[in-house]
Structure 1
């Protein structure tokens, strides 16, 4: 299980942004699709939908039977597994590119001690994932979300409060080589009030991501909500750094870290980890309708939220204010207590 750990930084001489709070549209719980009954799959951290079912990965490499890519049928039964040729560190997300290649994001780093992170590439009709190593330009980061840009570049979205960092490789990935990453931007998610096990901290960190089948939309999720951005000409970075997302509440999911689109693009699919839930609890894939796209003429042009029925967020522009500084300082003071509580829930070392 990934601990809820936030990185908070205060830049001297500049106040932090203070986004306007957003009252979450009335939330409805997801509709169950199927239940995953395989005992090896209690910490599902990444998922993609296929024409015949789903592909999932655990976020734990501690136990050998879990170190696999799992292929499920439409009823969530395991029909195939693919083993890694060497032991992964902390696999956290799955992405699929336009030609059907699977990318497993081995990018988790709760303690921020990893010198490199990795992506495992599994080509269609292959049974052997290929390892590609990368290194951050500014020190270790914990991350749980991966997207693939229109040009095929992987995009790592870090897990931290305030603004999540966006990182891409500086050159093409090469097996056996370590490729430097570069920071290409950051994404700030609007505030919501959606219920979740981690309260306001659970609404602040990105735990998963996915690209729509038509490649024209991407979605980021937290423990509480899904934020869908429109993508123009495959430019995912611009979409995340300048776009205004549509919001789908994902209320009360036990440990929500996975998200993907249905194959027709009409639904968002999620699944939670269940390792710390009551005995007998099984992961259940849930389905949520994709929010309707608001016509440009109907969108708000000020910093106030649009009508709740649209699911639109406020226009979250950067503002320098004392309230922003106070919010960041308050968040920092609470981080230590939250990290300790999360680690007490599970003492497993990565």
Structure 2
């Protein structure tokens, strides 16, 4: 939400008196991943001070700036230098996320609606090589919503997660489960509500306002479609999608939480083809541009035994005694079974 400054004071004042709705399942029960992390690179271009979306196509990295007059998609090289700026084929209202589709195209999520006044929102397709693209207008079934997150799984059915100030986010997809290829251009195409998603609260530091750990600001799906990420200002929550059913995966809740502390306004997330996780933030005030971070081995947390998971892999660290107890019980059962086998 690049335009967060318009509502930050109101939100902060309100959040001081209204309790944040807890997650459907207490977030404290979600294991926390301790992944090796570092800086991928830091954009120096002043136009990239506010990044609201990241997307990876093969070995190419794309970003979308937020709340500026220049709404072009930007391709970056390995040092975060600008390779090219690609104009969107239509004039957007408020692009808040960016996704890579299974069709090899970029999809800009023109979903921002802080005042909840838009009759339609939109997805905009973009061929990064030719600049060609189409506009696909979308309508909510139950009135205007503010959203900053689109996820495009392997089946091509886009999923939108809203960003309410209070309570759970709503989850939408095109009515009837239409894929990107089935949408009408320019539309409008009706959406249907398929669930809710509540994340947090957590104690991770960062974010522009109180309650930042519960506000959904971005999402991504891994290149192979088996892991989805939904982030807040302060944390990234991972959802395994082994059967390709993203809606069911979101309904089941996150399996792992990855803190990304001290991002001033973290809104962007993407997976690399190697399964690493990238995150990016808008800067705070006159500070320097924040770096694009990389967290290694995110999808490997869900790798079957023998497929990338080793004793030295990043540990998924439970944060409650119940989970630790479960691990101990499983280990004890394993010892007993081995002893019985030897006999």
Q: Does structure 1 residue 118 correspond to structure 2 residue 122?
A: yes
Q: Does structure 1 residue 289 correspond to structure 2 residue 296?
A: yes
1:141-180 C-alpha deviation (Å, 9 max, x unpaired): 1100110133211111101233211111124311122111
Q: Structure 2 CA distance, aligned partners of 1:153 and 1:189?
A: 23
Q: Does structure 1 residue 152 correspond to structure 2 residue 156?
A: yes
Alignment of 1:155-304 (within 5 A): 155-160=159-164, 161-170=166-175, 171=178, 172-198=182-208, 201-265=211-275, 267-274=276-283, 276-279=284-287, 281-291=288-298, 293=301
The 1:296–1:242 alpha-carbon spacing in structure 2 relative to 1, beyond 3 Å, is farther
CA contact (8 A) 1:52 1:73 kept: no
CA contact (8 A) 1:294 1:310 kept: no
CA contact (8 A) 1:29 1:250 kept: no
Q: Structure 1 CA distance, aligned partners of 2:147 and 2:247?
A: 17
CA contact (8 A) 1:53 1:76 kept: no
Q: Structure 1 CA distance, aligned partners of 2:186 and 2:302?
A: 46
Q: Structure 2 CA distance, aligned partners of 1:30 and 1:44?
A: 19
Corresponding residue of 2:330: none
Which of residues 138, 143, 147 in structure 1 aligns to 2:147?
143
TM-superposed CA distance for 1:27, in Å, is: 6.7
The 1:294–1:147 alpha-carbon spacing in structure 2 relative to 1, beyond 3 Å, is closer
The 1:133–1:182 alpha-carbon spacing in structure 2 relative to 1, beyond 3 Å, is same
The 1:312–1:135 alpha-carbon spacing in structure 2 relative to 1, beyond 3 Å, is farther
Q: Structure 2 CA distance, aligned partners of 1:208 and 1:312?
A: 24
Which of residues 20, 27, 30 in structure 1 aligns to 2:26?
20
| Unaligned segments of structure 1, at least 5 residues | 9-14, 298-308, 315-350
1:46-79 C-alpha deviation (Å, 9 max, x unpaired): 001244441011122x52xx12011111111111
Alignment of 1:310-321 (within 5 A): 310-311=316-317
The aligned length equals: 292
Which has the higher Rg, Structure 1 or Structure 2?
2
CA contact (8 A) 1:83 1:128 kept: no
1:71-98 C-alpha deviation (Å, 9 max, x unpaired): 1111111111111233210001111122
Q: Structure 2 CA distance, aligned partners of 1:174 and 1:294?
A: 36
Q: Structure 2 CA distance, aligned partners of 1:205 and 1:28?
A: 23
TM-superposed CA distance for 1:124, in Å, is: 5.5
Q: Structure 2 CA distance, aligned partners of 1:124 and 1:221?
A: 25
Task: State the Cα RMSD in Å.
Answer: 2.9
CA contact (8 A) 2:49 2:65 kept: yes
The 1:89–1:99 alpha-carbon spacing in structure 2 relative to 1, beyond 3 Å, is same
Q: Structure 1 CA distance, aligned partners of 2:193 and 2:217?
A: 19
TM-superposed CA distance for 1:238, in Å, is: 0.2
Q: Structure 2 CA distance, aligned partners of 1:56 and 1:116?
A: 24
| Unaligned segments of structure 2, at least 5 residues | 16-20, 306-314, 321-343
TM-superposed CA distance for 1:278, in Å, is: 2.7
Q: Does structure 1 residue 42 correspond to structure 2 residue 49?
A: yes
Greater percentage in helix: 2
1:283-311 C-alpha deviation (Å, 9 max, x unpaired): 311111345637999xxxxxxxxxxx624
The 1:92–1:18 alpha-carbon spacing in structure 2 relative to 1, beyond 3 Å, is closer
